[in-house]
Structure 1
Amino acid sequence: MVALPSGVLGALDSTSDRAVFRQIADQLREAIDKGRFKEGAKLPSESELVEHYGVSRMTVRNALSVLQGEGLVHSEHGKGVFVRPRPPVRRLASDRFARRHREQGKSAFTVEAEAAGSRPEVDSLEVKEERPTPDISARLGSPRRVLARRRRYLLDGRPVEFAASFLPLDLARNTPIAEPNPGPGGIYARLEELGHRLDHFEEEIRARMPTPGEVKTLRLASGVPVIHLIRTAFDTEGRPVEVCDTVMAADAYVLAYQLPAT
């Protein structure tokens, strides 16, 4: 066997019914999880793993393929396989839309990015009037036209989220909401200035694998799922005033909520 650093990788269990390539993947995954291979570190080469475990090159490649499919590693042609750096975790907290943030002139994304010590950015901004999909229309009370605001969010230059907001056109047309930069506090602050004091939000959250377009937009590594969140904002009259359809890189978020026990 080749001499790898002591304790980094063990031996195969010949009595196990688990496939050999999966045993190798398990050991590499454990070494990554325990920090034996740091973010950005190069894994042992295929040749080193072949010698260490006494298996075929195809077995080693199958093991590495498992880790790539899980989004733990990435391959660089001619250089090797490396532990994939993970973006800063942004905590999606239950108070992210608290009025105090809007009153301070900060959007939810800005507040949480600053709390994480990250630099927030927004790009790929598009604002236009359009006909809503049947689902968006039903959530907003069946308007025939909406104002759509699409944008991508980045932390320290890395895309982590893409969001599209849809507002009834009678609320948003010819207001700051229709401008590329709606001003301090974002569109929720503008809605309240227009007399639509926000009362509550409803959210639907699910995890799924990304579409090819989402992989490109968020620069997702192979195997990384997304969190798909649809939020509807209601004013104090019970009117739905905005629907936000958001797709987030799942490895960039922790969902944290405080729920009453009564």
Structure 2
Amino acid sequence: MAYKYKEVADSLRKAIKTGKYEPGEHLPDQNQIAKNFNTTRITVHKALQLLMVEGMIYSKRGAGTFVRKDYIADDHSKFGKVSPIDKPFGATKTNAGKSVTSKVLELSARIPTEDEADKLLIKPTEPVYVIRRVRYVNGVVFAYENTIMPTAITTLTEDILKKSIYGHMQKEGMTIEGTHRIVSADKATQIDVETGIAEELGEPVLVINQLSYLEDGQPFEISESRFPYKTSQLTADITL
């Protein structure tokens, strides 16, 4: 027999997937859900936690629980599902205690492509930043980043890009919640060689493509980061 919290989670999951609750919509409060399912608030809380881990909903203190704005019912979405290990910390926080610097290659703005507007949940006429920079840790090449970000999110300058975009956003009161991330391998391109990510064409390169979002589920960044294979590794702590 299934646990009660799983039954509640299954029912809410189905309601979200079938469109009863749409992206960005407020869910009934926990007491009402408990009444609807003839169960306890503790059971409802556990069910909601399960859906949060799956990336379907988020909770905002004092406001309640909402369906994520970036939730897509298709389980085969390009950027996959959200999980606790998908928190984006950025190069500066990841390398705390070390010297993290940046060489800005481009900071410009343009109209987004159809695909970019779709992923960022913005109108086709809303401009986006195009950001290209090389990150260094203790003077050694760490990564080459190519980022697309809506200009409406925040105002960026070259000075900010030389430091930390995430740090700047947090100072402005924004909370970065997580990211959908794909990790893969690729062969080095001419840009990889020019930026110092690789020594020669065809060399292996570690690639991370991600779509990052704020606490309300609003996507704010599409990025591709490329790393030298000799000095890069991924670490994940998984608790079962």
Instruction: State the TM-score, normalizing by the size of structure 2.
Output: 0.54
User: 1:123 matched to which residue of 2?
Assistant: 103
Distance between the aligned counterparts of 2:164 and 2:104, measured in 1?
16
Do residues 171 (structure 1) and 150 (structure 2) align? Answer: no
Instruction: Name the counterpart of 1:12.
Output: none
User: Which has the greater radius of gyration?
Assistant: 1
Identity value in percent: 18
Is 1:141 paired with 2:121? yes
Deviations 1:210-259 (A, max 9, x none): 11222222252245311111121111211101122211112111100112
Q: How many angstroms does 1:112 deviate by?
A: 3.8
Give the one of 221, 228, 234 matched to 2:199.
Answer: 221
Q: In structure 1, what is the equivalent of residue 51 of structure 2?
A: none
Report the alpha carbon displacement of residue 159 of structure 1 after superposing the two structures with TM.
2.4
Q: Which moved more, 1:209-218 or 1:139-148?
A: 139-148
Secondary structure of the residue that 2:203 maps to in structure 1? coil
Q: Which stretches in structure 1 are left out of the alignment for 5+ residues?
A: 1-93, 99-107
1:126 deviates by 2.3
Is the 1:125–1:180 contact (alpha carbons within 8 Å) kept by the matching residues of 2?
A: no
CA distance in 2, matches of 1:113, 1:123: 17
Matches within 5 A, 1:96-245: 97=88, 108-113=90-95, 119-144=99-124, 145-172=127-154, 175=155, 178-182=156-160, 186-218=164-196, 220-222=198-200, 224-245=203-224
Whole-angstrom CA distance in 2 between matches of 1:150 and 1:169: 15
Gaps in structure 2 of 5+ consecutive residues: 1-84
Per the normalisation by structure 1, the TM-score is 0.50
1:260, distance to aligned residue in structure 2 (A): 3.1
Does residue 227 of structure 2 align to residue 248 of structure 1? Answer: yes
Note the aligned Cα RMSD (angstroms).
2.9
Distance 1:227 1:219, change over 3 A: closer
Q: Deviations over 1:30-70 (max 9, x none)?
A: xxxxxxxxxxxxxxxxxxxxxxxxxxxxxxxxxxxxxxxxx
Residues 125-173 of structure 1, C-alpha deviations (whole Å, 9 max, x = no match): 421112334443332124432012221012343323110222112223x
